[in-house]
Amino acid sequence: MAHFYYNHGEMFAENVALETIAENYGTPTYVYSRSALTEHFLAYQVALANRSHLICYAVKANSNIAVLNVLAQLGAGFDIVSGGELERVIAAGGDPKKIIFSGVGKKPSEMEKALAIDIHCFNVESEAELDVLNAVARACGKIAPISLRVNPDVDANTHPYISTGLRENKFGIDIHEALEVYLKAAQMESLNIIGVDCHIGSQLTETEPFIDALSRVLTLVDRLQDHGVNLKHLDLGGGLGVCYKDEIPPRTDDYIKEILLHLDKRDLTLILEPGRSITANAGILLTTVEYLKPGQEKNFAIVDAAMNDMIRPALYQAWLAIDPVTPRVGIARKWDVVGPICETGDFIGKDRTLTIAQGDLLCIKSAGAYGFSMSSNYNSRGKAAEIMVDGDNIHEIRQRENFKDLMRGESLISDHKE
């Protein structure tokens, strides 16, 4: 089912015209579809119905508490990487027993909080972290459930900034050293080894790298078993790609089928940490054309969404579709769609063929993942509003930031004149 579609010449999100949202809440505004979120999450649940599993949505992709709440209601677990994400999951009604804590730089204070609420597992990313976690758990009188995040050294064939499973990346423990580290962890009194984890990258459009990583991890699982370390779960991370332009990533059910084929009859719970594949195509960014600036070399369409709202094009050369909300007839031209920020890198899309006029609304597609969650206040721009559409209903799930929000916590220095 299409969640964002044209009806009678204008674009809708579920049963709501985007024009109505712009009129009532202004722009730039993120708009999410509850039914899209639900459909994308359930694709995982259904494909794994006959297997012990836990889908831990990667909170970093879109961490609005209403998004987390919709997923929590469907039974999702959560993959977090900070104390802030932990607080969000709790505020959203997520089950602590379904939280896994990833990330290379967990602080003792963050570990304490996670131990206090009895999260499911810590994905430990280094030997040094193992020592700190053991000490923190001992001091709290707790046993920390752990898995080691191993780096399987496979090429995910994705953008270098979002590739994580190569030896040269900062993530995880080299798979060749993992056995030794596991045996060390097994001796630590306040740790309980329950699993193994890897995550090789994001926006993968083929299954092969996942399967390569899986078979390397399974070899490790067997070696661990030979040494008396029996694991309960295998966490294959996130990373399944989506279609932004013309990519053809595997469908969720085919990707899962392939994994299950290789997991075979092993008595391991499968954990996955999908982010993008759940939220990217469940959201759009609505923006207004402020000015048109046709020129000799280039035509610029200056819109009110900028790199502070959506940094993916500037940071990863990401391509996002840009469609008019109400297509008009007329001569199309090529436009660079750019924001108002004082940086040449502030663009949303280049060389887009569009028929547009000042004041038109544009829809930036596939913006639900790593959009708002990566936004900033650069150029003292308040963060965009966020809306969740659910059938005919419009929920404002985050108010647009105002000037007071922008300066919260700041103060003038007090001038002491003696």
Residue 282 CB, nearest approach to ligand LLP (Å):
13
Under the binding rule (CB under 6 A), the answer on residue 276 touching ligand LLP is yes
256: number of Cβ within 10 Å: 21
Q: Which of 3, 88, 199, 233 binds ligand LLP (CB under 6 A)?
A: 199
CA distance 385 to 319: 23
Q: For CA atoms 245, 246, 249, 254, give the dihedral sign.
A: positive
Amino acid, single-letter form, for residue 284: I
CA distance 252 to 48: 10
CA distance 289 to 328: 14
CA distance 368 to 372: 8
Under the binding rule (CB under 6 A), the answer on residue 260 touching ligand LLP is no
Segment lying near ligand LLP (by CB under 6 A), choices 34-42, 236-244, 300-308, 321-329? 236-244
Under the binding rule (CB under 6 A), the answer on residue 238 touching ligand LLP is yes
Q: Which of 28, 145, 165, 237 binds ligand LLP (CB under 6 A)?
A: 237
Q: Which of 275, 339, 349, 368 binds ligand LLP (CB under 6 A)?
A: 275
From the list 288, 303, 306, the residue with the least C-alpha distance to 18 is 288
- Tokens for 402? 């105002």
Segment lying near ligand LLP (by CB under 6 A), choices 34-42, 257-265, 269-277, 353-361? 269-277
Q: Which is nearer to ligand LLP, 120 or 199 (CB)?
A: 199
Q: Site residues for ligand LLP, window 343-372 (CB under 6 A)? A: 370
Q: Which is nearer to ligand LLP, 195 or 239 (CB)?
A: 239
Helix (H) or strand (E) holding 195: strand 191-197
CA distance 214 to 21: 44
Segment lying near ligand LLP (by CB under 6 A), choices 15-23, 87-95, 133-141, 273-281? 273-281
Q: Site residues for ligand LLP, window 369-408 (CB under 6 A)? A: 370
- 243 catalytic, yes or no? no
- Tokens for 134? 């053991």
CA distance 25 to 288: 12
Segment lying near ligand LLP (by CB under 6 A), choices 10-18, 110-118, 127-135, 238-246? 238-246
Q: Which is nearer to ligand LLP, 28 or 239 (CB)?
A: 239
Phi, then psi, of 268 in degrees rounded to 5: -125, 135
Under the binding rule (CB under 6 A), the answer on residue 79 touching ligand LLP is yes
- DSSP tag of 250: P
Residue 19 CB, nearest approach to ligand LLP (Å):
28
Segment lying near ligand LLP (by CB under 6 A), choices 183-191, 267-275, 287-295, 376-384? 267-275
Q: Which is nearer to ligand LLP, 282 or 356 (CB)?
A: 282
3-state percent helix, strand, coil for the chain, nearest multiple of 5: 30, 25, 40
Q: Which of 202, 207, 281, 375 binds ligand LLP (CB under 6 A)?
A: 202
Segment lying near ligand LLP (by CB under 6 A), choices 37-45, 66-74, 231-239, 393-401? 231-239
- Tokens for 243? 């279609």
Residue 327 CB, nearest approach to ligand LLP (Å):
28
Residue 412 CB, nearest approach to ligand LLP (Å):
36
Q: Which of 11, 16, 18, 58 binds ligand LLP (CB under 6 A)?
A: 58
Contact 270, 48 (CB under 8 A): yes
What single string gives the DSSP state of each residue in 379-407? GGPPPPEEEEEETTEEEEEEPPP-HHHHT
CA distance 135 to 49: 38
Q: Which of 22, 54, 61, 305 binds ligand LLP (CB under 6 A)?
A: 61
Interface characters, 84-113, with ligand LLP (x: CB under 6 A): ------------------x-----------
CA 247 distance to own-chain centroid: 19
Site size toward ligand LLP, by CB under 6 A: 20
CA distance 21 to 18: 5
Q: Choosing from 56, 140, 198, 342, which is the catalytic residue?
A: 342
Q: Which is nearer to ligand LLP, 135 or 166 (CB)?
A: 166
- Tokens for 327? 């297509």
Under the binding rule (CB under 6 A), the answer on residue 80 touching ligand LLP is no
From the list 373, 366, 348, 384, the residue with the least C-alpha distance to 3 is 366
- Tokens for 169? 């990346």
Task: Give catalytic residue positions.
Answer: 342
Q: Which residue ranges make up the site for ligand LLP (CB under 6 A)?
A: 58, 61, 79, 102, 162, 199, 202-203, 237-240, 273-277, 312, 316, 370
